[in-house]
Homo-oligomer: A and B are copies of this chain.
Amino acid sequence: MGTLSIVALLHGPDRPGLVARVAGWIFEQGGNILHADQHRDAEENVFFQRVEWAQPSRGDVPQVAASFKAMAHLELGMECQTAISNERARVGMLVSRIPHCLQDLALRFRRGEMRGELVCVVSNHPELRHFCESMSLPFHHVDVRASGKTEAEEMQLGIFKKYKVDLIVLARYMQILSGQFLTDAGVPVINIHHSFLPAFAGSRPYHQAYAWGVKIIGATAHYASAALDQGPIIAQDVVRISHRHTVEDLIRKGQDLEQTVFAQAVRSHLEYRVLVYKHKTVVFD
């Protein structure tokens, strides 16, 4: 078994000496910094840091992480999350009928590319059951139309709570989640939207893009928020199109973007690289 490492994500009011204090504290505990990255929002006077360090004495690691968090909070006035390298986040997925984001992400978890485990899939349609079962991935069908949205959301949340998920991902889930769902979930929710937001929010973005005649289309992964398609953006990518491409071509080209951007955002989140601040994210890469 190798040495464990601790990753800490901090943010709070900037003041001189923060970097020195964090680095000094870790040094005093016998830790060795592996990666450290920080950012200052000069306008808002906010300091952000991601620091990852190897902590040699194995038994003490959870206690060191807890002490760091206390020091960051009490002494530095910073909000702080920590995670230890042998912890694996549990991820639940909502999906409808479009398979590519589910399939690509499930295979990435299976190949061990992601720091976490995909523990269940919930869908408002039955079509993707077969694929999930071939992957030994628990699949639950919640029929939103039959149950009504409110009750369906309660059932979805019940499933996610049963699986103790730390993150919910929307792999082209075609229903709008209520603000209540987002509040009650109690964990972050990552959505993939099939446009270069804020352009073409809402439904049928490829049709919108085609009608506008844009020369580049995109995909956007963001944290879901009560305002539709307006949550903090984690990752975006784009691809060139031309007048030769039909709406169907846009959909096909866009799907390659969607699965790559979605995976990138989920990976960044699971590696504790994303801090949300106001409407925006700091993504340490």
Set of chain B residues within 8 Å of A164, measured between Cβ atoms: none
Q: How far is the CB of A19 from chain B (nearest CB, A)?
A: 4
Smallest distance from the beta carbon of A282 to chain B beta carbons, Å?
4
In the assembled complex, the Cα of A242 lies from the Cα of B107 at a distance in Å of 27
Contact A279 B19 (CB under 8 A): no
Partner of A196, one of B196, B244, B263: B196
Tell me if A99 is interfacial: C-beta within 8 Å of chain B.
yes
Asked if A204 CB lies within 8 Å of chain B CBs, one says: no
Interface status of A135 (Cβ within 8 A of chain B): yes
Q: Which of A101-123 contact B (CB under 8 A)?
A: 103-104, 107, 111, 113
Given contacts A23-B17, A111-B99, A238-B238, contact A213 B198 (CB under 8 A): no
* Interface-side segment among A1-9, A34-42, A138-146, A149-157: A34-42
Question: Hey, which chain B residues are within 8 Å of A236, CB to CB?
Answer: 214-216
Bound together, the chains give a CA A159 to CA B275 distance in angstroms of: 52
Chain B residue numbers with a CB within 8 Å of A196 are: 196, 199, 216
In the complex, A218 has a CB within 8 A of chain B:
yes
Chain B residues, CB < 8 A from A260: 256, 260
A27–B211 Cα distance when bound, in Å, is 31
Which of B39, B238, B281 is within 8 Å of A213, CB to CB?
B281
Given A99-B111, A103-B107 in contact, is the A281-B23 Cβ separation under 8 Å?
A: no
Q: Which residues of B contact A211 (CB under 8 A)?
A: 279
A162 in the interface, Cβ–Cβ < 8 Å? no
Decide if B113 touches A252 in the complex (CB within 8 Å).
Answer: yes
| Residue in chain B with minimal CB distance to A17 | B27
Residue of B whose beta carbon sits closest to that of A53:
B16
Q: A23-B20, A39-B243 are in contact. Are A213 and B280 (CB under 8 A)?
A: yes
B residues less than 8 Å from A263 (CB atoms) = 256
Write the nearest CB–CB distance from A280 to chain B, whole angstroms. 3
Taking the complex as formed, is A179 at the interface, i.e. its CB lies under 8 A from any CB of chain B?
no
Instruction: Contacts A103-B107, A104-B104, A134-B135 known; list 11 others, CB within 8 Å.
Output: A19-B20, A19-B33, A20-B24, A42-B246, A99-B107, A196-B216, A197-B199, A215-B235, A242-B283, A242-B285, A260-B260
Query: 7 closest pairs, A vs B, by CB?
Result: A213-B280, A20-B23, A199-B199, A19-B23, A20-B24, A243-B282, A215-B236
12 CB contacts below 8 A, A to B, read A20-B20, A23-B23, A34-B42, A198-B212, A199-B199, A213-B279, A213-B280, A215-B233, A215-B236, A238-B238, A240-B240, A244-B285
